[in-house]
Amino acid sequence: MTEQDLKVTEHGRVLVLTMDRPQARNAMSMAMAHQIADALEMLDSRDDLSLGIITGANETFCAGMDLKGFSRGERPVVEGRGFAGIVKRPPVKPLIAAVEGYALAGGFEIVLSCDLVVASTAAKFGLPEVKRGLTAAAGGLMKLPQRIPYHLAMDLVLTGRMWPATEAADVHLVNRLAEPGQALTVALGLAEEIAANAPLALAASKQVMVRSVDWPLEDRFDRQEEFVNPIRESQDAKEGAQAFVEKRDPVWTGR
């Protein structure tokens, strides 16, 4: 694999993944799906990284699956991780979507695989698969009704219409709105605010919030111990307490 459709950069404790296929409005290729999967594996494996951002170059996020590749029999799916190397198994650590332009079909499903969303006021979301004889099978049909009101989700799926980011912000699918061209800048500001906190605590907090939805009510406190007890015993927990006593900023090691 020689062509790099994904640009990966580091900003302190933040890993930024930039989809960059200008000839196809960043539509997902098999190569880029594997590159995203590899980048997310790196994000989760490194103690010096707290969270990630995924965005798109050339003033657009992602136009979904590359239909030219699909017509040749290519499906940009990574075993164990699903479409785009993310929708079936997102990273353990938090991930922010920074959206400019269009996030359509699989592109919107990538957004729905993220934990926070920053979008340009000019950005548009959509699940137009029904217009192409397909279904939003990369998580959109399952995740969208969990994020927004049921009837609105049904409207968007069955009509396949475009949905402005400003309207998405009204129902809190979008956490921050940005001026056009500034989504990544605003996302980096949000990421830096998050990265000031303990990385192990961030990842554990995300996992409990995501996983506990399906836990039986009577088991929830016991089951969260698997995730939160190691945090109490971590070096970072000791560092956080010591930094508070010494009235200084903590120095996190992710251990």
Q: How many CB atoms lie within 10 A of CB 98?
A: 31
Contact 86, 113 (CB under 8 A): yes
Question: CA-to-CA distance for 64 and 134, rounded, in angstroms?
Answer: 12
Contact 177, 121 (CB under 8 A): yes
Question: CA-to-CA distance for 88 and 108, rounded, in angstroms?
Answer: 14
Q: How many residues does the chain have?
A: 255
Contact 56, 26 (CB under 8 A): yes
Question: CA-to-CA distance for 237 and 250, rounded, in angstroms?
Answer: 10
Give the residue numbers annotated as catalytic, written as ranges: 109, 129
Residue 1 buriedness (CB in 10 A; 0-12 / 13-18 / 19+): exposed
Q: Among 18, 19, 17, 15, which Cα is nearest to 43's?
A: 15
